[in-house]
Amino acid sequence: MQLTNRAKKLEKKPMTLAERAYLPAIFQGLSITMRHFFMKKATVRYPEEVRPFSAIFRGLHVLKRDEQGRERCTACGLCAVACPAEAITMVAGERKKGEEGLYREEKYAISYEINMLRCIFCGLCEEACPKAAVYLQADKMAPPRYERDEFIYGKDRLVEPVSPDERSVRGIQLTPEQADALRNKMAQV
């Protein structure tokens, strides 16, 4: 039975003298391997040399701050809902009086955790976020770790770092108490 007419009819011809002598084929093979000897090598010597990331690479997450250095995240939970791997958990809290320099909205995330072992780096959290708070960085990867619980990234490792001093440089009004509170908070994590 013939399903298609693409089948090729092969004839088993007796080998020619050159084929039977085997030597021409050897020289052909040797020339091919010699060409490869001088070709550009595919190896990237990793620690010294890093393969460049694509501009749209989706790497390690970051929780952004706004232009005044306040956390943008309002703990609405849309990223957690959007996450197909269920890697994101968060606890929402109410902003106290005097914390206006820390959190942009009245509601904020007390804790925000992403499990990098569950995360599939699809970027749906980034798309879901209404406050433009969570982004997947194009130049960072979640590095390997020895312990599984080290892969659960909390706010300490996710929030964009801004030191209290840097904030004052950027012209943000912080009362001394607020700055102390922030320093304590960062010292704790």
- Does 152 count as an annotated binding residue? no
- Does 119 count as an annotated binding residue? yes
Backbone angles phi, psi at 112, to 5 degrees: -145, 115
Which residues have CB under 8 Å from 154's CB, separation 6+?
A: 111, 112, 113, 189
Stretch that binds other proteins, among 41-49, 90-98, 137-145, 163-171 (CB under 8 A): 41-49
Give rounded-to-5 percent helix, strand, coil for the chain: 30, 15, 55
Task: By CB under 8 A, name the one of 6, 36, 97, 148 that touches other proteins.
Answer: 36
If binding means CB under 8 A, how many residues of this protein chain bind other proteins? 15
Task: By CB under 8 A, name the one of 34, 91, 110, 120 that touches other proteins.
Answer: 34
Q: Does 45 bind other proteins (CB under 8 A)?
A: yes
H or E stretch including 79?
Answer: helix 78-82
Task: By CB under 8 A, name the one of 32, 81, 110, 120 that touches other proteins.
Answer: 32
Nearest one of 116, 164, 163 to 141, comparing CA atoms: 116
Task: By CB under 8 A, name the one of 4, 5, 16, 33 that touches other proteins.
Answer: 33
Least distance between other proteins and beta carbon 24 (Å): 13
- Minimum CB distance to other proteins smaller for 43 or for 188: 43
Helix extents (H) in 102-175: 124-128, 155-158, 164-169
Nearest one of 123, 124, 134 to 72, comparing CA atoms: 134
Q: Does 50 bind other proteins (CB under 8 A)?
A: no
Least distance between other proteins and beta carbon 18 (Å): 15
Which residues have CB under 8 Å from 61's CB, separation 6+?
A: 114, 119, 125, 134, 135, 136, 137, 153, 158
- Does 76 count as an annotated binding residue? yes
Residues that bind other proteins (CB under 8 A): 23, 26, 29-30, 32-34, 36-37, 39-43, 45
User: Binding site for [4Fe-4S] cluster: which residues?
Assistant: 73, 76, 79, 83, 119, 122, 125, 129
